[in-house]
Amino acid sequence: MKVLVIGSGAREHALCRSLSLDPAVTALHCAPGNAGIAEVAELHPVDPMDGAAVSALATDLGTDLVVVGPEAPLVAGVADAVHAAGIPVFGPSGEAARIEGSKAFAKDVMAAAGVPTARSYVCSSAEEVARALDAFGAPYVVKDDGLAAGKGVVVTHDLDAAKAHAAACERVVVEEFLDGPEVSVFALTDGETVVPLQPSQDFKRALDGDEGPNTGGMGAYSPLPWTDPKLVDEVLETVLQPTVDEMRRRGIPFAGVLYAGLAITSRGVRVIEFNARFGDPETQVVLARLKTPLAGVLLAAAQGTLADLEPLRWSEEAAVTVVVASHNYPGSPRTGDPITGLDAVAAEDAPHAYVLHAGTRRDGAAIVSAGGRVLSVTATGEDLVQARERAYTAVARIGLDGSQHRTDIAAKAAGV
Ligand code: AMP
Ligand code: GLY
């Protein structure tokens, strides 16, 4: 099977790594990719947002499956263009990706499907915002309605800060604060059948102890020893299947991966957000534990045959990933700094720990930083204690001037 992956993050590197280990994959391509993905896939300098260019590339390469990683091309309809060229594509249509692209749309789908979520108001004026903030009280939750790479949400006790964020956005969703730990559950779906993956937990704040600004995610781990073993079944029944059914009922079937960002509150599971793609960095730990070869699974979702798939097989091992970010991330990051220690990780820590690249590029013989989240180190182990030890051992070998990473990824769950 010839596979083309679209995107350039650590999530796409994780997808490419798993696909490269799948014996069914005979050729692996990625556009545009990064310096790490180049080690497992052939890179093509094609704009991931350009559906015509992506489908032309897929056609030229004789691709059997295109996997679209990030939300922006999905919302822009890149999967539609590939589909129109007659090539199986893993990733929802632009219309279906609105479940991530518009918080207001997602709320409407959830209301219709009876999916538990925070109560909310969609507001377009300062008066509406003030009324909604007053109705819910502090802590205030204000979300930009559009795509914002995980950074469009402000959660604050400061009423003026909440109003200022709303004023900076065109349309916002103001919602009740959900108290309780967060869990990410991804499900593969062909629009009808829903196959949930193992749950994971992301660390959204920049600094240890969940301090600092929201980011795209600074680390993740799986499994979650502290959750009810029936959590995934419950989420399938109350969240994932009803949402997929509602999308189909609306004539906009959702096929690809549906990402449910959940809060485990004292009143039960509530959806914080849906995404229309794999989460980053959670994908790194979920795929590290998936034993079933990936290509056939993604192809089944693309072709509407998930119902025929054997149950997925999972490793009993734990996985932890730690993101190494540039100086000043999530503000405008500094780029162009050389990254050292990558060979040392490959020599000393593989196969239990490995580096997945995100914002990197090759500069002559060197690999340099090229984005906010530069790379993530993923490690597996007998349990979370061992997986996190291995991850942090490898992180310590990486040199990147001014870089930052959290030191407490999976610490609480590992009991350390
Ligand atoms: P989102 O982009 O919707 O995932 O929001 C980013 C982060 O903001 C989430 O991971 C939560 O940590 C936080 N957040 C979003 N909505 C709420 C809410 N209703 N209550 C509490 N925290 C929230
Ligand atoms: N890790 C959060 C996200 O992918 O949106």
CATH code of 395's domain:
3.90.600.10
User: Are 192 and 300 in the same domain?
Assistant: yes
30, 301 Cβ separation under 8 angstroms:
no
Are residue 265 and residue 347 in the same domain, yes or no? no
Q: Is 112 part of any domain?
A: no
Q: Which of 328, 298, 318, 314 is nearest to 387 (CA)?
A: 318
Task: Identify whether residues 328 and 358 lie together within a single domain.
Answer: yes
SS3 content of the chain, % helix, strand, coil (to 5): 35, 30, 40
- Of 269, 285, 308, the last residue of a domain is 308
State how many domains the chain has. Answer: 4
| 37 and 69 belong to one structural domain | yes
Indicate if the pLDDT at residue 150 is higher than 60.
Answer: no
Report whether residue 383 contacts ligand 1, using a CB cutoff of 6 Å: no
pLDDT one-digit tens code per residue, 321-361: 999 999 999 999 999 999 999 999 999 999 999 999 999 99
Question: What's the token pair of residue 272?
Answer: 């914080």
Region label for 137, one of left (φ > 0), alpha (ψ between -120 and 50) or beta (otherwise): left
Q: Tell me: do 224 and 186 sit in the same domain.
A: yes
**Whether residues 302 and 194 fall in one domain:** yes
Query: Both 223 and 267 in a single domain?
Result: yes
Pocket test for ligand 1, best of 266, 272, 282 (most atoms within 8 A of CB): 272
CA distance 52 to 168: 33
Examine residue 102 and state whether it is found in any structural domain, yes or no.
no
Domain that holds residue 168: 119-175
| Res 149 pLDDT > 80 | no
Q: What pLDDT, on the 0 to 100 scale, is given for residue 147?
A: 73
pLDDT digits (tens, 9 = 90+) for 258-300: 999 999 999 999 999 999 999 999 999 999 999 999 999 999 9
CA dist 28 → 69, 214, 286, 361 (Å):
15, 34, 21, 19
Residue 170 has pLDDT above 90, yes or no: no
3 state DSSP class of 129: helix
| Of 356, 355, 373, 334, the residue nearest 150 (C-alpha) | 373
Q: Token pair of 175, please?
A: 């919602």
Band (151; pLDDT cuts 50, 70, 90): low
Tell me 117's DSSP state: B
**250 and 139 assigned to the same domain:** no
CB of 335 closer than 6 A to ligand 1? no
Mean pLDDT for all residues in the chain: 96
Cα distance between residue 148 and residue 51, in whole Å: 21
Q: Ligand 1 in contact with 143 (CB < 6 A)?
A: yes
In a domain, 208, yes or no: yes
| pTM, 2 dp | 0.94
203 and 166 within one domain: no
Specify the CATH number for the domain of residue 196: 3.30.470.20
Q: Specify which residues 173 forms β-bridges with.
A: 122, 143
The answer on 410 and 328 residing in a single domain is yes
* Tokens read off for 221: 């781990």
Residue 49 parent element (H or E): none
The ligand that comes nearest to the alpha carbon of residue 282 is 2
What is the predicted pLDDT for the residue at 129?
Answer: 96
Strands 172-175 and 153-156: unpaired
Query: What's the pLDDT tens digit per position in 41-78?
Result: 999 999 999 999 999 999 999 999 999 999 999 999 99
pLDDT average, residue stretch 379-385 = 98
Residue at 96 is within a domain: no
CA 217, chain centre distance (Å): 9
Q: Which residues, other chains included, contact 149 with Cβ-Cβ below 8 Å and sequence gap of 6+? A: 216
Which of the listed residues 102, 117, 133, 155 should we mutate to test ligand 1's pocket, taking the one with most ligand atoms within 8 A of CB?
155
Q: Indicate whether 86 pLDDT > 70.
A: yes
Model confidence at 146, pLDDT cuts 50, 70, 90, reads confident
Q: Of 63, 122, 48, nearest to 277 (Cα)?
A: 48
The neighbouring-strand residues paired with 322 are 219, 377
Do 51 and 157 sit in the same domain of this protein? no
Q: Where are the alpha helices (DSSP H) in 213-257?
A: 231-235, 241-249
Share of the chain above pLDDT 90, in %: 94
Task: Tell me how far the alpha carbon of residue 272 lies from the centroid of ligand 1, in angstroms.
Answer: 6
Shared domain check, 230 and 142: no
Q: What is the pLDDT of residue 152?
A: 83
CA 336 to centroid of ligand 1, rounded, Å = 32
Residue 272 · residue 118 · CB < 8 Å: yes
% pLDDT > 70, the chain: 99
